[in-house]
Amino acid sequence: MSLHVGIVGLPNVGKSTLFNAITKAGAESANYPFCTIDPNVGIVQVPDFRLKALAKIVNPQQIVPAVVEFVDIAGLVRGASKGEGLGNQFLSHIREVDAIVHVVRCFEDDNVVHVEGKIDPERDIETIRMELILADMETVYRRQAKLVGMIKSGDKKAKFEAEVLEKLVKKFDQGIPANLVGFSEEEKELLNSVSLLTLKPVIYAANVSEAEASNGENNANVQKVQEIARLENAEVIPVCAKIEAEIAELEEDEKEIFMEELGLTESGLDRLIRSAFKLLGLITFFTAGPKEVKAWTICRETKAPQAAGTIHSDFERGFIRAEVVKYEHFMENNGLNGAKDKGLVRLEGKEYVVQDGDIMHFRFNV
């Protein structure tokens, strides 16, 4: 499945620097607002140590990791929903992503101008939140206008939708985004079809200085972001975009030495990518053979036929059963044959719910 994550934030908070580090795509980065006009897109590998471990046993021709598509979206300013800065251009790009990484500047640097004049994470977060709320209000107003005639004709579904939207508008008027409103499952299902920006899950990337790369949690501005995130049940990942960009340019063996010197056990980008993967409720299953070891992305609670369908629609349509072995059992017994000898390979049917790390072989007939 295709997974899209948008990187958003005010101008000059480090979005494009972070994007460069994530994707090595070379997006233009400069010390002035709106240097990123068209969204840059990069495909990022999801870090997963299990792939290399599997490959050592299987010895495949290639290794294919799971991926996330990151989109670097042009910087927002106050009034963007009304046409300020790049106006509504950013909105269409955000609507297309599954989740949002909100980059918040938490470092002081007189050489890098701030669009609002000074560093204030709370104000910056509120600015973007309000622009997204205002954009969502326009979306809701348009939808409400379409429901009027349907309600007059006695459409009960339209009446229910109108009630849900009115509840939402009242919250918007209070500055509350859709993801902080308590909705029933039925209401959530309805709103998913409305394409609301403030319903999208968020990770805050708190951009800290080089000196704080290994201890960003102690930064007072990061702590302010964490307080906001706690109220939203969101996650905060402290990163130093500048250092992450430097790490991204190094070879694998050089990365370990460089991070050790900085006191880092893992790059901020790896944590960010994993968090984005986790945020959307995704897991990984593997196929392993002489041609390739490959990671496949599915939602939690996905059943075996639908998992097979991520490989090819014929696999789902003609699904018979799945041969399944846990990653740990595969590794402990030096591969599939060893696991079979121990009776650790199972045959599962259509109701089997795939687990993270399952190594699967599908049997099908079309």
Q: Which two tokens stand for residue 166?
A: 């009115």
Query: Any known ligand binding at 14?
Result: yes
Query: Any known ligand binding at 318?
Result: no
Alpha-carbon span 132 to 91, nearest angstrom: 8
Q: Look at residues 188, 217, 185, 209 and name the one whose alpha carbon lies nearest to residue 200.
A: 188
SS3 annotation, the chain:
CCCEEEEECCCCCCHHHHHHHHHCCCCCCCCCCCCCCCCEEEEEECCCHHHHHHHHHHCCCEEECCEEEEEECCCCCCCHHHCCCCCCHHHHHHHCCCEEEEEEECCCCCCCCCCCCCCCHHHHHHHHHHHHHHHHHHHHHHHHHHHHHHHHCCCHHHHHHHHHHHHHHHHHHCCCCHHHCCCCHHHHHHHHCCCCHHHCCEEEEEECCHHHCCCHHHCHHHHHHHHHHHHHCCEEEEECHHHHHHHHCCCHHHHHHHHHHHCCCCCHHHHHHHHHHHHCCEEEEEEECCCEEEEEEEECCCEHHHHHHHHCHHHHHCEEEEEEECHHHHHHCCCHHHHHHCCCCEEECCCCECCCCCEEEEEECC
Query: Any known ligand binding at 17?
Result: yes
Query: Any known ligand binding at 88?
Result: no
Query: Any known ligand binding at 13?
Result: yes
Within 8 A by CB and 6+ apart from 208, the residues are 106, 107, 216, 219, 221, 222, 238, 239, 240
* Residues annotated within a binding site: 12-17
* Residues annotated within a binding site for ATP: 12-17
